[in-house]
Structure 1
């Protein structure tokens, strides 16, 4: 006896009364809560499956029905269901039949002769779980496709062996100016500036390309019109159409780099000005103040010029203080940049 707390809703599509009785007996033997609907032909089964108020966990399908050809039965029935797995019940035992049926979308097939409750239960549970996994995987592929193709950042997939593009998103097409057809005839090296080829060659020949997933890199890429842009790149190894490939996401940081370069140029100019003040301006200032000091100490200097010399000396001292303050601020900038 097999006990299962879940309530299963099962559609049995069978036209043979003795087989219907046997299937019902096997299901009752399992001692699980089950709701069974019987359809004696394809038309009745279609009516059940198209009903908005009924969802089945599994369909048990006889491989031959009176109102439809056996050649198209499986295909037509698969079209009628979505999440619901189909288990074919057959009196035919053969590898060709099983492969052909599974290739058309069924989850499992069971031979009626010798069928036991345990075999039926295992097939039902496994088929339901396989279907869940399949749709989870299918849903993941859909999410990947949405994230890839709808991303505002340029993204592409390339083959790790040949470096040819396998797929690109719309953002990459707009950013670089190539059509998708042009991209798929190119290698990723072709969007690198020629002068950066040594960096590319060193990177693809390094094991880091297989190890450093999600690590940010800062590179340069070249558009179709020849314009070179700065990019922040992140990548990850994936399997794409059964090929080992790399998924790449790029962010154009050209404006940010230009802003940083402008700030660095301004800082350099500030350093040059500070150096000029501390070395070029300060030298003649020191000489001037020495001369004033000498004149103040001289006995030959008329008394009426003493106040004027004091004003000159005070102004020179003030100017020296200003220059020292500029030099200190420049040293502070140097320390911050050196961290």
Structure 2
């Protein structure tokens, strides 16, 4: 019966001519025009596997003229890579056939009990299992890369012991600790001593409320003792039956310093604006009044010398105010450059 329209390519590693003919007939009965290649020794199988890797499955006899047992299985598995290997064994090797599953083979079949449909199921299921395993491995590799190649520090730590379980390269570079140092530390050690209680309270609250996502601004301490402000985002995840927390850390120290600088500049600008709107107007108003007296009154009516003296004093006062404004403006420019 043809169960599949797909043309499969199968390598049969079998030195017995009779057994090979039996396997070949079974394969051709269940699969549509399969491509079947045979190797009678391990060395010939190795040459085929090294020259081509497009086999869909490998049927492997446990006893060959040049290799057998565990050594044969491990060597073939290494050469097979992602190709599923199905062990073919006799009754005498039945127990060892079962043990080969722990070595990484996809299935084992007793030669004397092999039927076409059984061989079809074993190959089909092995191929599907291998496809799923490869897909999971690819997905795991993808997420591992997202963790390791992230440009921002990331780490995973145990919520019970607070110990680091893994850190990415960005965390190592930014905080100054080596991977070995991180893995020997707890999360408490990157917090300033006076902030550790905040960490413990946050985790306690998170456990009580059941919230798995957390975001806040905290302070961390680098290996060199530098204190930095960090925008922290974390999620609680279950891994190996333990509660862990995956953390993404973004150093915002420079950003906060910039905001503080801008706020300081704004305060200075407000001060300058107030001086301009209040302090400057006082001597100007006096000068206008004095000039008006000098202009509109004759000698004898007012003491113009005294008025001019007052006018000069107001001018000096105004000059001092302008100098003060200039100094404050220059300080703002220096702050911007820094």
Same fold, TM exceeding 0.5?
Answer: yes
C-alpha separation in 2, matches of 1:53 and 1:62 = 20
SS of the aligned residue for 2:64 comes to coil
C-alpha distance after superposition, 1:151-174 (max 9, x if no partner) = 442222211221101122333223
Does residue 162 (structure 1) correspond to residue 161 (structure 2)? The answer is yes
Q: Which residue of 2 aligns with 1:24?
A: 24
Q: Which residue of 2 aligns with 1:226?
A: 225
Backbone CA RMSD of aligned residues: 3.8
Deviation at 1:103, TM superposition (A): 1.3
C-alpha separation in 1, matches of 2:252 and 2:187 = 19
Q: TM-score, normalised by structure 1?
A: 0.75
CA contact (8 A) 2:98 2:108 kept: no
Higher mean C-alpha deviation, range 93-102 or range 226-235: 93-102
Q: Which residue of 1 aligns with 2:262?
A: 263
SS of the aligned residue for 2:250 comes to strand
Counting only pairs closer than 5 Å after superposition, residues 1-339 of structure 1 correspond to structure 2 as 1-50=1-50, 52-53=51-52, 55-92=54-91, 97-207=96-206, 210-212=211-213, 217-238=216-237, 243-275=242-274, 284=282
C-alpha separation in 1, matches of 2:166 and 2:7 = 45
> Are the structure 2 counterparts of residues 246 and 91 from structure 1 closer, same or farther at C-alpha, using a change threshold of 3 Å?
same
SS of the aligned residue for 1:27 comes to helix
Deviation at 1:288, TM superposition (A): 6.0
> Are the structure 2 counterparts of residues 23 and 138 from structure 1 closer, same or farther at C-alpha, using a change threshold of 3 Å?
same
C-alpha distance after superposition, 1:98-123 (max 9, x if no partner) = 55211111111122333332222222
| Contiguous gaps of at least 5 residues in structure 1 | 306-311, 313-339
SS of the aligned residue for 2:261 comes to helix
C-alpha separation in 1, matches of 2:285 and 2:236 = 69
C-alpha separation in 2, matches of 1:194 and 1:121 = 65
Higher mean C-alpha deviation, range 125-134 or range 87-96: 87-96
CA contact (8 A) 1:154 1:175 kept: yes
CA contact (8 A) 2:94 2:110 kept: no
Deviation at 1:189, TM superposition (A): 1.6
CA contact (8 A) 2:213 2:236 kept: no
C-alpha distance after superposition, 1:179-216 (max 9, x if no partner) = 33222221112111223223212211123685217x5x
C-alpha distance after superposition, 1:304-328 (max 9, x if no partner) = x9xxxxxx9xxxxxxxxxxxxxxxx
CA contact (8 A) 1:235 1:248 kept: yes
Q: TM-score, normalised by structure 2?
A: 0.75
SS of the aligned residue for 1:220 comes to strand
CA contact (8 A) 1:203 1:209 kept: no
Higher mean C-alpha deviation, range 7-16 or range 17-26: 17-26
C-alpha separation in 2, matches of 1:238 and 1:226 = 30
CA contact (8 A) 1:162 1:187 kept: yes
Deviation at 1:144, TM superposition (A): 3.8
- How many residue pairs get matched? 306
Deviation at 1:279, TM superposition (A): 6.0
| Contiguous gaps of at least 5 residues in structure 2 | 305-310, 312-338
Deviation at 1:138, TM superposition (A): 2.6
C-alpha separation in 2, matches of 1:171 and 1:6 = 46
